[in-house]
Amino acid sequence: MKVTYDPAADTVYIYLENNIGPGDVKATYPLDPIEEVGQIYLDFDAAGRLVGIEILDASKRVPMELLRNAQIIG
């Protein structure tokens, strides 16, 4: 598992598969959280396997330890 964080976009991406290449994500489904802060998207491959999770407004939704340990991008 790999976690990246883009501080400018305040977005975390959790890679459940090590190598998600261009075109590997075949479907993305948003979750509808009870809270109105942030949004979460689930990415699936062609076989229907969950391969990644994107979390918007991450600084308000995930533990700070996860953000500190994530690979910074952007």
pLDDT at 36 over 70: no
Longest alpha-carbon distance in the chain: 33
Q: What is the pLDDT of residues 41-56, one digit of tens each?
A: 999 999 999 999 999 9
What is the edge-to-edge ordering of all strands in the sheet holding 50-56? 27-31, 40-44, 50-56, 11-15, 2-6, 71-72
**Other beta carbons less than 10 A from residue 56's beta carbon:** 16
pLDDT at 34 over 70: no
Which helix (H) or strand (E) segment is 66 a member of?
helix 64-69
Residue 32: predicted pLDDT? 73
pTM assigned to the model = 0.88
pLDDT at 38 over 80: no
Residue 67: predicted pLDDT? 95
Long-range contacts at 42-46 (CB < 8 A, ≥ 24 apart): 45/17
